[in-house]
Structure 1
């Protein structure tokens, strides 16, 4: 997905505002297994996925707990760093070789002061990310593992072919054996 599509998906901008924003975006490449955001650090950039897939996880009692995935067109960010300039709690690993768009948050915040359209775009960006986090929380609290798996397949139909089943099981809060049972029952 190209940067124009990603920007418009978040919130449409006029041509001039979009050009201002795009001047601050850099295309970068990272190999599979790169950790581009690390827990307990203030992240100075947000990323948008042009090509590839990523997972967001935290380490709890020496276990990696995956709590979200991102694919083409999605955002990779530590919202705590972006909004509050504080250390984030999550790490983000690339599960494939990825092409990303990088946007420095300090530059973006300077643009907010220069252009009200970009400021509104930034507000919409944060609102969209908050809604995604809320949906994940509600799904985790209220949905069964089977319901969460079906929802994951609906939102990420090719995820099963692109991501290790252990990460998917972790995301669902179940073991790989339980995931195998769910997959067998759905077929």
Structure 2
């Protein structure tokens, strides 16, 4: 939990009373590798901090999944659109490794926003960060070739390429695993 405190203090330091209140709302949740955190068709009710592990966002398909995001340690994970709208999620979130989360319910998070000095600042910064990641991904899909997306991924998030199965990376950049193999051969 100290890891989360340090992370939040880097965004907007919480005084001791606010931290104790926020901390009292958190639950530690552990997931095995390949566990579904958010099932397609279910409403998201939590915001979680990844203390250990990594997750992927994907749309399950009959023949193959469409991966559209990855998150790692020291990042927040949630089906944010479902959390905000109260509508069922159109995608799933799955662990790629054994994962430890610090989780807060939407109801408790709303209470933290109301009763703490800078809970809203932290929430806004988290939302802004998620928006920037999503925006950058959308722009890359519109403006870059698959090879350029792969190279950007390699430059921006090298941990992805070392820890995530290539079939998920291929799906993420919008190509088949065979096309990714050809791209990797060309650039090495």
TM-score (norm 2): 0.90
Equivalent in the alignment of 2:77: 76
Equivalent in the alignment of 2:12: 12
Give the superposition deviation at 1:61. Answer: 5.9
Give the superposition deviation at 1:19. Answer: 3.1
Equivalent in the alignment of 2:120: 119
Alpha-carbon distance in 1 for matches of 2:185, 2:61: 29
8 Å CA contact 2:8, 2:14 repeated in 1: no
Give the superposition deviation at 1:144. Answer: 1.3
Give the superposition deviation at 1:13. Answer: 2.6
Unaligned runs of 5+ in 2: none
What secondary structure, in the 3-state scheme, does the structure 1 residue paired with 2:107 have? helix
Give the superposition deviation at 1:104. Answer: 1.2
Over the aligned positions, Cα root-mean-square deviation in angstroms equals 1.8
Equivalent in the alignment of 2:94: 93
TM-score (norm 1): 0.90
Alpha-carbon distance in 2 for matches of 1:5, 1:152: 27
Q: How many residues align?
A: 186
Deviations along 1:51-97, one digit per CA (max 9) or x if unpaired, are 11111001356531000111111221111122222222220110111
8 Å CA contact 2:56, 2:94 repeated in 1: yes
Equivalent in the alignment of 1:167: 168
Deviations along 1:156-185, one digit per CA (max 9) or x if unpaired, are 213223211111100010011111111122
